[in-house]
Amino acid sequence: MAELTADRTKEVMTVNIGPHHPATHGVLRLIVDLEGETVKEVTPVIGYVHTGIEKSCEDKSYWKVIPFIERMDYVSYFFQMEAYCGAVEKLIGLEIPPRAKYLRTIFLELNRIHSHLVWLGTTALDLGAISMLWYCFRERDRILDLFEMATGQRMHTRYFQVGGVIEDIPLGFEKKLAEFVAEMPVRVGQYEALLDNNEVFLQRTKGVGIVSRERLLELGVTGPLLRAAGEPWDLRKAVDHLVYPEMDFKIPVGTVGDNYDRYRVRVAEMVESTRIVEQALAALPDGPHISEDRKYVLPPRSELSTSMESLIHHFKLVTEGFRVEPGEVYNAIEGPRGELGCYVLADGSSKPARVHFRDPSFINLQAFRDMSVDTYVADMICSLGMLDPILGGVDR
């Protein structure tokens, strides 16, 4: 709605930053009311990559759901698997063995680093610091090499299963991981050297997009955005989950809550995640990598030729899947963007009756309006990058 006034400097122009735009981090559509270059109102329109994943999950047995849900937030796929498998394990009451817990933690933190690298590369690209993309993706490719070594796939690995992880790590993985862990802090130092004192970057991010802590909490925002505003809230520390209580790591917390703080918090998180991986790798215990309960977990293939019972279990699990007593559970973990929650409703059959994900990007996007009103368009793009929405999670 354009208002034509005699004073042309006050004219409000509605611009559609359409679903196809190099800076929207996915197919996000923004309808922006601009007065000159100042943003007066911004309305995000989402749904352009809505895939009906939650509905599809109702049609699949519990273990078949895993490849579906990991494609929601497509840079942090291990986290979706963890939220879902954790929820189903709570429903069943299944304990996962210690080695599986450590492996899960290692892969989750590697995925967190991966997610932050993708964020840093693309956001710096939006701000004009194009070389960051190449440096960040160089590390990202190393992490993906590690994933491929252990699971066979670079992305969407379906590595976590109900009861543990699907396969033990291969020989040589620990060595390669140790090399990566040793080098990663140096690389993060390189990224900081590129951006931290860059005058253009500082001018574009300092003091921009500030939203108060209380407002963020009202809007349900969690994750690095909340921590940058000064609230030390992290589910890894708040809730006893996997092996985080035994790890020694810090939570980076910002002060002002502007875009610069968000950047610093995430970069610091990368270093902390590397430390967690290092400690978990050193403390990795021996043992089974998945639960031994054959009612829910496939038996190892070596047993299939000797034990009739294993064969029957295998058959039942592959064809129908395991059944879960009726009940519902909400399992929340700390994803790279905030609280990732998975709600599973079981109705006694072998398929979940409802799977719903509380996706952090979906909730965080509500803070976008507060971050960009009364700033310039360029600041809005910067805020969008620092918000780090992943549209696959927003739209599910």
Partner 1 sequence: MPDAPGLELIRGEIERDRPGSVLATSFDRDQAALLVDPEQVLAVLGWLRDEPGQGYRFLSSLHVADYLPAEPRFGVHYELLNRDRVERIRVKAMLADPGAEQLPEIDSCVGLFPTADAQEREAFDFFGIVFRGHPNLTRILMPDDYVGWPQRRDFPLGGEPVTFTYNERRYG
Partner 2 sequence: MADRQRSARDMLRGDLEGDDLERYVEERVVTTTFEKMLNLARANSIFPLTFGLACCAIEAPISIVTARYDLARFGAEALRASPRQADLIILSGRVSVKMAPVVRRLYDQMLEPKWAISMGACSSSGGMFANYAVVQGADKFMPIDMHIPGCPPRPEAVMYGFSKLQRKIMGEPDQGWRQRYNAAGTEEWARGGPRSEPSPEAAAAYEQARELTHA
Binding site for partner 1 (CB under 8 A): 46-47, 50, 52, 54-56, 58-59, 90-91, 93, 217-221, 233, 238-239, 327-330, 332, 339, 341, 343, 345, 353-354, 356, 358, 362-363, 365-366, 395-396
Question: Minimum Å distance from CB 211 to partner 2?
Answer: 28
Question: Minimum Å distance from CB 67 to partner 2?
Answer: 7
Considering the complex, state which of residue 120 and residue 346 has its C-beta at the smaller distance from partner 1.
Answer: 346
Partner from partner 2, partner 1, none binding residue 93, C-beta < 5-8 Å depending on class: partner 1
Can you say how many angstroms the Cα of residue 374 is from the centroid of all Cα atoms in its chain?
29
Considering the complex, state which of residue 140 and residue 313 has its C-beta at the smaller distance from partner 2.
Answer: 140
Amino acid letter at 71? R
Cα–Cα nearest to 372, from 124, 126, 32:
32
Cα–Cα nearest to 339, from 185, 181, 223:
223
Question: Minimum Å distance from CB 137 to partner 1?
Answer: 30
Question: Minimum Å distance from CB 341 to partner 1?
Answer: 5
Amino acid letter at 222? T
Partner from partner 2, partner 1, none binding residue 376, C-beta < 5-8 Å depending on class: none
The whole-angstrom separation of Cα 190 and Cα 59 is 47
Considering the complex, state which of residue 121 and residue 223 has its C-beta at the smaller distance from partner 1.
Answer: 223
Partner from partner 2, partner 1, none binding residue 391, C-beta < 5-8 Å depending on class: partner 2
Considering the complex, state which of residue 74 and residue 296 has its C-beta at the smaller distance from partner 2.
Answer: 74
Question: Minimum Å distance from CB 348 to partner 1?
Answer: 12
For residue 188, the SS3 value is: helix
Tell me the longest C-alpha to C-alpha distance in the chain: 88
Partner from partner 2, partner 1, none binding residue 366, C-beta < 5-8 Å depending on class: partner 1
Considering the complex, state which of residue 144 and residue 210 has its C-beta at the smaller distance from partner 2.
Answer: 144
Partner from partner 2, partner 1, none binding residue 118, C-beta < 5-8 Å depending on class: partner 2
Partner from partner 2, partner 1, none binding residue 188, C-beta < 5-8 Å depending on class: none
Considering the complex, state which of residue 233 and residue 376 has its C-beta at the smaller distance from partner 1.
Answer: 233
Cβ atoms of 140 and 114 closer than 8 Å: yes
Partner from partner 2, partner 1, none binding residue 121, C-beta < 5-8 Å depending on class: partner 2
Can you say how many angstroms the Cα of residue 305 is from the centroid of all Cα atoms in its chain?
40
Q: Phi, psi (5° rounding) for residue 171?
A: -65, 145
Cβ atoms of 260 and 206 closer than 8 Å: yes
Question: Minimum Å distance from CB 50 to partner 1?
Answer: 4
Question: Minimum Å distance from CB 52 to partner 1?
Answer: 7
The whole-angstrom separation of Cα 356 and Cα 361 is 14
Amino acid letter at 163? G
Partner from partner 1, partner 2, none binding residue 21, C-beta < 5-8 Å depending on class: partner 2
User: What is the binding site for partner 2 (CB under 8 A)?
Assistant: 18-22, 26-27, 47-53, 55-56, 67-68, 71, 74-75, 118, 121-122, 133-134, 137-138, 140-141, 154-156, 391-392, 395
Cβ atoms of 253 and 66 closer than 8 Å: no
- Please compute, for residue 294, the number of CA atoms within 13 A of its CA located in the half-sphere on the CB side: 15
Partner from partner 2, partner 1, none binding residue 97, C-beta < 5-8 Å depending on class: none
Please provide the DSSP assignment of 287-330 as one string.
S-SB---TTTSPPPHHHHTT-HHHHHHHHHHHHT-----SEEEE
Can you say how many angstroms the Cα of residue 111 is from the centroid of all Cα atoms in its chain?
8
Partner from partner 1, partner 2, none binding residue 257, C-beta < 5-8 Å depending on class: none
- Whole-Å CA distances, 354 to 90, 185, 262, 288, 344: 15, 42, 34, 31, 6
Considering the complex, state which of residue 97 and residue 121 has its C-beta at the smaller distance from partner 2.
Answer: 121
Contacts of residue 390, Cβ cutoff 8 Å, sequence gap at least 6: 25, 26, 73, 74, 75, 76, 337, 361
Question: Minimum Å distance from CB 59 to partner 2?
Answer: 8
Beginning with the edge strand found earlier in the chain, give each strand of the sheet holding 327-335 in spatial order. 327-335, 338-346, 352-358
Question: Minimum Å distance from CB 84 to partner 2?
Answer: 16
Where do we find the tokens 């520390």?
237
